[in-house]
Amino acid sequence: MTSRVAVRTRALTKEFRGFRAVDAVDLEVREGSVHALVGPNGAGKTTLFNLLTGFVAPTSGAITVFDEDVTGEPPERVARRGVARSFQITSLFETLTSREHVELALAGRTGRGFRFWRSEKLLGRERPRVDALLAEVGLAPLADKPVGLLAYGQKRALELSLVLALDPRVMLLDEPTAGMGTEDVDRTIDLVRRIAAGRTVVLVDHNMHVVGSLADRVTVLQQGRVLAEGRYDEVRVDERVITAYLGRAEHA
Ligand SMILES: Nc1ncnc2c1ncn2[C@@H]1O[C@H](COP(=O)(O)OP(=O)(O)OP(=O)(O)O)[C@@H](O)[C@H]1O
Ligand SMILES: [Mg+2]
């Protein structure tokens, strides 16, 4: 492959009071790829996301985004470089509508915040973009309902639209199908595939059907270290991966 490297880590390490949650990880995410991070609970996947987005500062090691060093940069600086993430735990406002969530995400992106949101709301200038984002995740018909009335799968779709609102070059999705039934899982696979076009996606998911459907490349973490890496069809037959993770995951 000749594409550029979107995100690279070198010997990236995060210790919490001497415990290595992420331990000397070398990761290379190619531009335009969907790169999955998998591994058992506590393997360090979310911590790695926190490191890549500046929410957590590394103990040692380095991170580059399109060859620029971002090591130790705070979240807003990393975000300005085009890296955006979703969270493992849902964090929406039940009384606001989907439309208002997307408007707020767009207002946040401009850095002008809440007052800008109020003025934009009155002027309606962002409306076409808001409509397009809601349509992209299938929420157009529900745009003006309070989020508290949405089904779980719809809330997760809304969260994806909030990441998309930042128009990121690199999207980090932490368990986008967590807690979903089969139907929502398949809908989310289609959605992620669509929004991944022209973007780089790093995806954490425990569902191997999701990983197998979406990922060009898979990195398997165990106890903070890279256990294996390759295409899905390579890592899924890797004995170490089966022992450490898949054996459990597929019969869970
Ligand atoms: N802020 C923190 N302080 C102390 N320990 C932490 C902190 N954050 C994470 N850890 C520990 O680091 C390890 C890795 O956690 P992490 O959340 O990254 O795992 P994960 O791979 O995302 O797991 P899961 O699949 O359950 O989401 C765990 O042992 C966790 O308890
Ligand atoms: Mg996690």
CATH no. for residue 30? 3.40.50.300
Ligand 1 binding pocket includes 42 (Cβ within 6 Å): yes
Nearest CA to ligand 1 atom 19: 42
Q: What are 102-154's pLDDT values in tens digits? A: 988 888 776 666 666 666 665 677 899 999 999 999 999 999 999 999 999 99
H or E segment to which residue 63 belongs: strand 60-65
Ligand 1 binding pocket includes 181 (Cβ within 6 Å): no
* 223 CA → ligand 1 middle, Å: 10
Ligand 1 binding pocket includes 18 (Cβ within 6 Å): no
What phi, psi does 136 have (nearest 5°)? -60, -35
76/90 same-domain check = no
- pTM for the whole structure: 0.91
47/92 same-domain check = no
Ligand 1 binding pocket includes 44 (Cβ within 6 Å): yes
Number of domains the chain contains: 2
In contact, 126 and 106? CB cutoff 8 Å: yes
| Separation CA 36–CA 51 (nearest Å) | 16
Does some domain include residue 27?
A: yes
Nearest CA to ligand 1 atom 12: 21
Q: What are 29-87's pLDDT values in tens digits? A: 999 999 999 999 999 999 999 999 999 999 999 999 999 999 999 998 999 999 998 87
3-class secondary structure, 208: helix
